[in-house]
Structure 1
């Protein structure tokens, strides 16, 4: 069951509320009068109300006329949801291509043209702060999270240009000044073909001044084993992840009307090896010639001020994001080992992204402006992104970089030497230092007019001005170019401005208090690259002209228009709820990632506006509480996202499906709760998920077919024993150990496929205590 509470321990408190009601019903007299029987029938089991803040005000999920899912704290705890990978298949029209660590491509409604994690169409927020950018998505751990909200479709008016296909929001629990309480959880599990997994989470809510000032401290650590084996290196546990983090928040009720909330979020993640198998993916093998890895570190600072004017609520959110990531990827397959078997080649990719943001908004209080409700605000952000990427030499399976350049130069008959200008290593084959700066100003608002108690219309708009600039310095070794000199070049794009305005229109009608219908038109956009064409090294321009039929063009914004009709229906006196939406999206001037090919120097990707596409489908969520003890859920979607016309640049034809998302997707689950005595309750959960066919990205090589993955079922179960102080959970994920391919990544340089595989059967236990 889903709940919108934000107090600590809400899950077990609600559980006991349900237990008390069940016990009362069980002990009722056998005979009741007809009037009493009717009253009892009308007061049967009801689904709990889910409160969300997607529209910047607290509302019931059932009353919001948009396509949206919410996963509450009880569901997070009871189903063992710990991160993004734990829940995304439960949500209609949502899929994730997991490149590891923060490099995740979140796809809503099938809207994507590449497997790349860059330039996502979906924005992710922790509370009110955006935590996505060009090359990363922070993946927060869901311990002590009040709820997760998934908003499908463009959310450009309230959430900005990154919310083209949808928005995901993580809402953390706030400090509670009313009393001291805490929560500790420890988990152990074992993964087939892997090793032991561990996690430890702890939270303490500390009132400093009763009802005035409180702190909340959260800490966690985890060790998730890998399950791939590297045959060449003789190493197991590839794809293992070590995670640690902390959250600290301080809430001050300064007056009856003013509240200040300061918070700090820290997370660190390190991963050994990638999440992909080579060859027969069911064997879970890799043959990389050096140890790959990646990692991230994020620091998020947040200061929120809230003031209640009576007629409206003022909120100011000041944020700062500092994000670092690193990556080591084997590139020895390009042929360096043919020069000498000791030589190795790897891509090293380091990114630092800093963002300062400020949002100020006003939200009208209910009934303060008669028939009008409104939200209005201003948003500012300043982003600085630095990337240092290159191909570097190393020696042996341990990839020792020291002395690799000299080793290459000492090989008899070797004609090429490596460049060593100031600021570069003497083992570099290629280096590029890039910088991107982006500043954004936006004004936004939504206005809802209540024509009657049943009929409402909402109009919204967001006008945005984006100022951007880019620069890059490149260094290419003569070993790659085959020329008599090393090539260096610098690229600097002049500062440019881009302005856009997106609109929203929504109409909803309550047929009765249990039945609502709605229709919506909304827009989204993604900023382009200015008036300058993407940087192409001069030695690759002839190849680019051949591929594109001319020089590369400047990249302009792509746009999305989405039309939706939907319904929300409550039946069985509140024991059954149905949410259903049909949608149609028109995506124009799509920013497509193209592969240039050719030599290793020109084996680069760049972006062009090269396609248009449509996506249409349906989404369904059905929840039923037939008794106080049994909860049933069914959710699913069908998505048909295709190209509108032939796209020679992509080697694609009209009506070809877009990559990365299944056509069909559904989850069916049941949860049964049974009181044992006055102190203890037993519960069980069974969930079955189906993921339909998933196609890989478009390939520029006509001889390299697109990958086909997906089309699998997975089953998760758990058994729980709970009291008001303790919870013991025995769980099994992927019970039947399905070896399913979740996505196939094709390497276009050497035309081989690496396959992400569903995590094998994992069995474990979680112990939790509240105090």
Structure 2
């Protein structure tokens, strides 16, 4: 399959080249510049990508805008070495599912609730470490840094760091842009629309204000075809009496509606030549009607589900709000530049999830006497608040030494709750057993509330020695001290006799030094070879499970330790005959891996440490022009596996994951491909055509030994195309996403895990595939001023 994809991309590239006449230059036509020409600040200095001595990719904001990239999942599919679980818009800020170099052991279906362990890949918005999944609006560039980055960034990471750099206000310039988009998604009964506007306002010679606003409104495409009709109390309607199994179902077409509001204001002040200040505020609100996830197979009555049907017996909306305030100051001290970043954010959300399929398949409905019309609702919330301060000093003087030193402080409060309800159970119990009505308190059968206070303090830095103009070596260190305090409240209140609230507390701390070593050599006119060894670290924490009382767990579940990686990397990059190239070999040794799971007795959400894993592979990319056509081709090979069996922390003899099991979510082979070409007509109109594709080989849904979850996911490819006509200040872009309408499954709730169980009265299905956005055709009008 991989060979056919490579042959297809090569043939398409040659056909495009053969069909084009000579083109205008990139600067004149407005084509995106080569990757090598993008200036990044990954090393805390402004450098071209080709001059950074490790494997980094950058995507310009111009490219994002021209290709009409709609979300981060689509964007990251264009970057070699990066994979992502595409859950659609619902709960898109709950769980960071970005994977770099295969470092992941969590099942692809996580995402409905906030997990205990932090993500292996850290993400930044400018200089604030936060996973908020903001809309991609007014972006200057996106930088993807592979491997641990703790010696350059305040927030450490295992697999890498992704930075979303937003455009700064421009002094002395008035301008902006407005755009409107209409689009139609396969399976949807309506037309979606989006509107964006950005304006840059000069406030004298030393200040400027930049404002950005965006609204997205999409009608949805997933049909919830067997949803219970509810009565005034929120329980399923009982047309033939409470104890009769009869139910009334409704159909809700295009249920996964999307409404997103985004806004950002940035004020920049430059009172002197040596001081630059930017104060910004960013806010986003999401209202999502349901899942963009589809059910395959049949319902409990034997009726087949359609292409975009979902078998949930209840609607599953979600909402979230995130606000980020940041003050960034740059002071030119002459010998060095001092940068201060002070920020705070508040990110919270909630959702309703269909949980009846899990109850039915696990046998839990028998615990509730298989009462008629079972409807298990999981109402979940998450919250993430933080104050962050980072200081950096970057040398400016010429000489054999360069340095970067920094200090980092973060105070973070995390929260996660789940309130589970068996809608209508209390009414059915009272009707069936009136003499024992007091035995059941309410419909609520589970309460869970977890809070964590986390404090991180770190010192970090790098020192580079230039042996010659071409040869240099860098050493880096990061020392940190962190502390975590956790509290968990849990109860099973449905039966009066079982209700026993528990509220354990726990705390932990850790401090350590991490190291990095790098050597690089510039060869030829524009070539660079490098080798790096770097350590990565992910904090541990406290699960705070009870160890006494009715809901006691083994004390070994109370906390989990940190996990660590040693990343080895060697690569070359450069430009030869106008073609940019980069290639890197990597090997990652991962110890004490953290796995998000639940406790065996009462289902507390916890993280546990496993054994060892390793990942090795190749990342390669070329970027250039041929006969006026700009092309980009990337390939990634990743072999990521467990190095030993993984056992429960309680010392059980039965492994929960086996040696040599593939790590989930990361394909062994991935290919990215893109071409674009512009030409100017005699009337001055510039026509630009673009085509890009992505292919990934098969993946695994999980790493565990459970056949209910650990299933294979098929390979897929996604192709996108667009055409733009630009004249004066106006441009019009016609685009098609996912031309061949591939499912692109990146996660699966299996039938054996959450499917129909008619014998227990459950005729719906919680089984579903996480699919990419189906074929989307749209038109965007842009006006620049």
Residues of 2 paired with 1:428 and 1:617: CA distance?
Answer: 49
Conservation of the 8 A alpha-carbon contact between 1:610 and 1:647: yes
- CA distance 1:226–1:417, shift in 2 (3 Å): farther
Pick the aligned partner of 1:394 from 411, 418, 423.
Answer: 423
Q: Deviations over 1:631-684 (max 9, x none)?
A: 011012010100001224453321110011111111111101010136320010
Residue in structure 2 matched with residue 682 of structure 1 by the alignment? 687
Quote how far apart the aligned CAs of 1:205 are. 0.3
Matched, 1:668 2:650: no
Residue in structure 2 matched with residue 641 of structure 1 by the alignment? 640
Residue in structure 1 matched with residue 759 of structure 2 by the alignment? none
- CA distance 1:595–1:656, shift in 2 (3 Å): same
Conservation of the 8 A alpha-carbon contact between 1:623 and 1:631: yes
Quote how far apart the aligned CAs of 1:21 are. 8.6
Conservation of the 8 A alpha-carbon contact between 2:426 and 2:440: no
Pick the aligned partner of 2:779 from 741, 765, 771.
Answer: 765
Q: State the secondary structure of the residue aligned to 1:766.
A: strand
Residue in structure 2 matched with residue 398 of structure 1 by the alignment? none
Conservation of the 8 A alpha-carbon contact between 1:418 and 1:428: no
Q: Deviations over 1:19-50 (max 9, x none)?
A: 64999xxxxxxxxxxxxxxxxxxxxx988721
Quote how far apart the aligned CAs of 1:145 are. 0.5
Pick the aligned partner of 1:460 from 476, 483, 486.
Answer: 476
Residue in structure 1 matched with residue 121 of structure 2 by the alignment? 122
Pick the aligned partner of 1:715 from 716, 719, 732.
Answer: 719
Conservation of the 8 A alpha-carbon contact between 2:463 and 2:476: yes
Residue in structure 1 matched with residue 26 of structure 2 by the alignment? 18
Q: CA RMSD in A?
A: 2.6
Q: Deviations over 1:327-363 (max 9, x none)?
A: 1111233256974435522111112221001011111
Quote how far apart the aligned CAs of 1:486 are. 1.5
Residue in structure 2 matched with residue 155 of structure 1 by the alignment? 149
Residue in structure 1 matched with residue 457 of structure 2 by the alignment? 441
Residues of 2 paired with 1:733 and 1:357: CA distance?
Answer: 38
Q: State the secondary structure of the residue aligned to 2:77.
A: helix
Residue in structure 2 matched with residue 95 of structure 1 by the alignment? 83
- CA distance 1:22–1:235, shift in 2 (3 Å): closer
Pick the aligned partner of 1:66 from 46, 49, 54.
Answer: 54
Conservation of the 8 A alpha-carbon contact between 1:112 and 1:660: yes
Pick the aligned partner of 2:489 from 467, 473, 481.
Answer: 473
Superposition pairs of residues 224-373 of structure 1, within 5 angstroms:
224-233=218-227, 234-280=251-297, 283-333=307-357, 334-335=359-360, 339-342=370-373, 344-365=375-396, 368-373=397-402
Residue in structure 1 matched with residue 701 of structure 2 by the alignment? 696
Conservation of the 8 A alpha-carbon contact between 2:500 and 2:550: no
Residue in structure 1 matched with residue 163 of structure 2 by the alignment? 169
Residue in structure 1 matched with residue 623 of structure 2 by the alignment? 623
Q: Deviations over 1:365-401 (max 9, x none)?
A: 1xx1511111111110101123332212435xxxxxx
Q: Deviations over 1:384-432 (max 9, x none)?
A: 123332212435xxxxxxxx75565444468465776xxxxx5421112
Q: Deviations over 1:495-545 (max 9, x none)?
A: 432112111111000112221100001111111125x7645785455xx66
Matched, 1:507 2:519: yes
Residues of 2 paired with 1:620 and 1:379: CA distance?
Answer: 33
Structure 2, gaps ≥5 residues long:
1-22, 228-250, 298-304, 649-654, 756-765
Q: State the secondary structure of the residue aligned to 2:658.
A: coil
Quote how far apart the aligned CAs of 1:274 are. 1.8
Q: State the secondary structure of the residue aligned to 1:758.
A: coil
Q: State the secondary structure of the residue aligned to 1:645.
A: coil
Residues of 1 paired with 2:726 and 2:456: CA distance?
Answer: 49
Superposition pairs of residues 132-151 of structure 1, within 5 angstroms:
132=131, 138-151=132-145
Conservation of the 8 A alpha-carbon contact between 1:680 and 1:723: yes
Residues of 2 paired with 1:474 and 1:416: CA distance?
Answer: 24
Conservation of the 8 A alpha-carbon contact between 1:553 and 1:608: no
Residues of 1 paired with 2:548 and 2:688: CA distance?
Answer: 62
Residue in structure 2 matched with residue 744 of structure 1 by the alignment? 748
Q: Deviations over 1:134-178 (max 9, x none)?
A: xxxx11222211000011111121224542101110111111121
Residue in structure 1 matched with residue 16 of structure 2 by the alignment? none
Quote how far apart the aligned CAs of 1:184 are. 0.4
Conservation of the 8 A alpha-carbon contact between 1:120 and 1:162: no
Conservation of the 8 A alpha-carbon contact between 2:703 and 2:710: yes
Conservation of the 8 A alpha-carbon contact between 1:69 and 1:91: yes
Judge which range, 114-123 or 53-62, deviates more. Answer: 114-123
Conservation of the 8 A alpha-carbon contact between 1:408 and 1:414: no
Superposition pairs of residues 2-17 of structure 1, within 5 angstroms:
none
Residue in structure 1 matched with residue 587 of structure 2 by the alignment? 584
Conservation of the 8 A alpha-carbon contact between 1:219 and 1:247: yes
Judge which range, 258-267 or 754-763, deviates more. Answer: 754-763
Residue in structure 2 matched with residue 54 of structure 1 by the alignment? 42
Higher relative contact order (Cα pairs below 8 Å, separated by 6+ residues): 2
- CA distance 1:276–1:580, shift in 2 (3 Å): same
Structure 1, gaps ≥5 residues long:
1-14, 24-44, 133-137, 396-403, 421-425
Quote how far apart the aligned CAs of 1:555 are. 1.1
Q: Deviations over 1:254-293 (max 9, x none)?
A: 1111111100000011211123222349823211111112
Residues of 1 paired with 2:347 and 2:709: CA distance?
Answer: 37
Count of aligned pairs between the two proteins: 697
Conservation of the 8 A alpha-carbon contact between 1:373 and 1:447: yes
Residues of 1 paired with 2:278 and 2:498: CA distance?
Answer: 58
Residues of 2 paired with 1:631 and 1:735: CA distance?
Answer: 21
Residues of 1 paired with 2:322 and 2:65: CA distance?
Answer: 24
Conservation of the 8 A alpha-carbon contact between 1:185 and 1:769: yes
Q: State the secondary structure of the residue aligned to 1:157.
A: coil
Q: State the secondary structure of the residue aligned to 1:85.
A: helix
Quote how far apart the aligned CAs of 1:18 are. 3.4
Residues of 2 paired with 1:164 and 1:331: CA distance?
Answer: 33
Matched, 1:205 2:208: no
Q: Deviations over 1:301-323 (max 9, x none)?
A: 00111111111111111000111
Quote how far apart the aligned CAs of 1:477 are. 1.8
Conservation of the 8 A alpha-carbon contact between 1:595 and 1:700: no
Pick the aligned partner of 2:403 from 354, 361, 374.
Answer: 374
Quote how far apart the aligned CAs of 1:747 are. 8.3
Conservation of the 8 A alpha-carbon contact between 2:545 and 2:604: no
Residue in structure 2 matched with residue 730 of structure 1 by the alignment? 734
Residues of 1 paired with 2:640 and 2:608: CA distance?
Answer: 20
Quote how far apart the aligned CAs of 1:585 are. 0.3
